[in-house]
């Protein structure tokens, strides 16, 4: 998780190593899927102020791709069309999740890439099956996360029973409401949908940029259809060898480290936050706040579980740290709960789209791989992790607990090892909590001809198009002509992380105004949390 990538790479910090290139147009025609021939997509403007050329369309695909003439579902698509004379084809983008909507991401990627690069691609976003504007969209139990929930820490049998009841209820309601859909809401179904999109676009091959869970989606697509991959970019890489139960336990340790990095940052800025200069004492203060909120929720809204929900996003993106620190300091120093309630509303509260996202998240993760069905195993494993990583362990356990009671059978994870791909590009931060560093190294090993670009000292999740010029140069070079770095050792190239944000300037209405790069804030707003 915290390995020194520079030493392993033995390369300079910017654009290191020798380079190889792929021809601008890839060859080799491929066989079509079992999906029936798809009608031409009808694109209509769905422009926004930020993305004035954005277009939208819909595509019907089989619910069960083994029965191509059976029941159909509808996928929502978006695109920013290419403007260059010569197109390099579609660039599909996915923000992760599972459960993340990709419609707006297409506009973001097209506007964030260098104009000459973006002009060469039709940047295509999509809502995966069950998500957002795709139909049907899942919403198993609206208001499942409404405050105030039981304390996530099962310190008593009664608290554990209350949380177990919530998990069982969610799984049962989802199974009853979507009995005929749930067996088809999984990664393999989404991958076959992607190939139906490729076919509908009239492309022999696709280019792809995926973040977080989107890296697993991309790797599985590449495993199923290696001859249909032209360029593949995986940013913040899921370890495919531990999906999904073990992956969540590993996340807990990494998020605890990242939370402590936040507390150390607060200590560095004692003149602003007045919480002390000793990170360990500040950590004790944070847990004291948690204990107090378990007894008396702030504003009748933010209890212990909601506090964790509020601060977990800081593990994904340090641009949120100033706002979180302000809320922390106001509660402790001024006995003012309002900034904490506001921070919860900004970062922790779950709206209707969040209910949809969680419904798809559980449906995919619970279906994709085996989860223990004996709660005693969960209890044993999570208490063991909690002893060394208390920050998120039980909150995360209850988030995933419906999988212990999920009403569908589970599939086997896909072995993504692949020697049939063109050169592909991986990006990974050394301190990423949501997809720890080892995942990038593992996928680099499993995907022959892959190149790994490491952000040394970075802790954010989702690092390209987020303000780091070094990373973005590698991305632009690859999308331009297939250029990838070739180094020696674990990493092929290393970029230095951006500095942590500064506290809000005096007199600003909120620390949000002082959050680091606007592109980073925009990206992380689209990627969301819990990936």
Query: So which residues are the catalytic ones?
Result: 212, 432, 461
Rounded Cα gap, residues 498 and 207, in angstroms: 28
Residue 522 is inside which H or E element, if any? helix 518-527
What does the DSSP assignment read for 187-200?
HHHHHHHHHHHHHH
Rounded Cα gap, residues 397 and 400, in angstroms: 5
User: Cα 51 from chain centroid?
Assistant: 22
Residue 110 is inside which H or E element, if any? helix 103-112
Three-state secondary structure readout of 80-97: ECCCCCCCCCEEEEECCC
Whether the CA torsion 421, 424, 429, 430 is positive or negative: it is: positive
User: Residues 320, 164: contact at Cβ < 8 Å?
Assistant: no
DSSP helix/strand/coil, 503: coil
> What ranges in 296-455 are assigned the alpha helix state H?
304-311, 313-316, 321-334, 338-343, 352-368, 375-388, 393-400, 437-446
DSSP helix/strand/coil, 452: strand
Two tokens, residue 449: 């001809």
Cα–Cα nearest to 369, from 222, 216, 236: 216
Q: What is the CA radius of gyration of the chain?
A: 22
Residue 464 is inside which H or E element, if any? none
User: Residues 479, 488: contact at Cβ < 8 Å?
Assistant: no
């Amino acid at each position: 998780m915290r390995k020194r990538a520079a030493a392993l790479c033995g390369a300079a910090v910017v654009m290191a190593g020798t380079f190889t290139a792929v021809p601008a147009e890839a060859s080799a025609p491929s066989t079509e899927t079992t999906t029936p021939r798809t009608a031409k997509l009808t694109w209509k403007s769905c422009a926004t102020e930020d993305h004035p050329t954005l277009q939208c369309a819909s595509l019907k695909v089989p619910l069960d791709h083994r029965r191509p003439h059976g029941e159909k579902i509808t996928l929502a698509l978006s695109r920013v069309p290419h403007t260059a004379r010569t197109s390099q084809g579609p660039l599909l983008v996915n923000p992760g999740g599972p459960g993340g909507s990709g419609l707006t991401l297409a506009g973001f990627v097209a506007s964030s890439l260098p104009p000459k690069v973006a002009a060469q691609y039709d940047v295509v976003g999509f809502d995966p099956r069950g998500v957002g504007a795709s139909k049907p969209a899942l919403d198993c139990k609206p208001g499942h996360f409404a405050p105030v929930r039981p304390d996530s820490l099962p310190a008593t049998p009664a608290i554990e029973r209350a949380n177990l009841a919530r998990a069982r209820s969610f799984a049962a309601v989802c199974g009853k409401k979507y009995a005929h859909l749930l067996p088809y809401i999984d990664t393999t179904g989404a991958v076959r949908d992607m190939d139906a999109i490729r076919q509908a676009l009239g492309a022999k091959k696709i280019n792809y940029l995926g973040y977080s869970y989107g890296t697993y989606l991309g790797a599985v697509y590449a495993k199923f259809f290696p001859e249909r991959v032209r360029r593949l970019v995986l940013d913040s890489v899921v370890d495919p060898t531990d999906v999904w139960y073990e992956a969540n336990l590993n996340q807990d340790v990494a998020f605890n480290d990242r939370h402590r990095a936040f507390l150390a940052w607060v200590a560095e800025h004692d003149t602003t936050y007045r919480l002390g200069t000793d990170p360990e004492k500040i950590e004790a203060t944070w847990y004291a706040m948690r204990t107090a909120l378990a007894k008396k929720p702030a504003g009748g809204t933010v209890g212990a579980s909601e506090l964790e929900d509020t601060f977990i996003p800081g593990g994904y993106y340090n641009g949120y740290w100033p706002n979180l620190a302000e809320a922390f300091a106001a509660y402790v120093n001024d006995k003012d709960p309002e900034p904490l309630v506001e921070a919860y509303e900004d970062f922790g509260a779950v709206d209707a789209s969040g209910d949809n996202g969680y419904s798809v998240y559980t449906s995919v993760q619970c279906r994709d791989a085996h989860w223990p069905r004996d709660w005693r195993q969960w209890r044993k494993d999570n208490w063991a992790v909690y002893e060394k990583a208390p920050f998120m362990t039980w909150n995360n356990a209850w988030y995933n607990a419906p999988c212990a009671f999920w009403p569908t059978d589970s599939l086997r994870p896909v072995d993504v090892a692949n020697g049939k791909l063109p050169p592909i590009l991986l990006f990974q931060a050394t301190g990423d909590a949501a997809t720890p560093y080892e995942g990038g190294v593992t996928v680099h090993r499993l995907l022959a001809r892959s190149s790994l670009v490491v952000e040394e000292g970075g802790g954010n999740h989702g690092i390209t198009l987020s303000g780091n010029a070094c990373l973005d140069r590698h991305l632009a070079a690859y999308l331009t002509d297939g250029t990838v770095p070739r180094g020696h050792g674990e990493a092929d190239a290393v970029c230095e992380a951006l500095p942590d944000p500064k506290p809000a300037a005096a007199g600003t209405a909120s620390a949000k105004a002082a959050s680091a790069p606007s592109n980073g804030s925009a990206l992380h707003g689209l990627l969301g949390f819990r990936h």
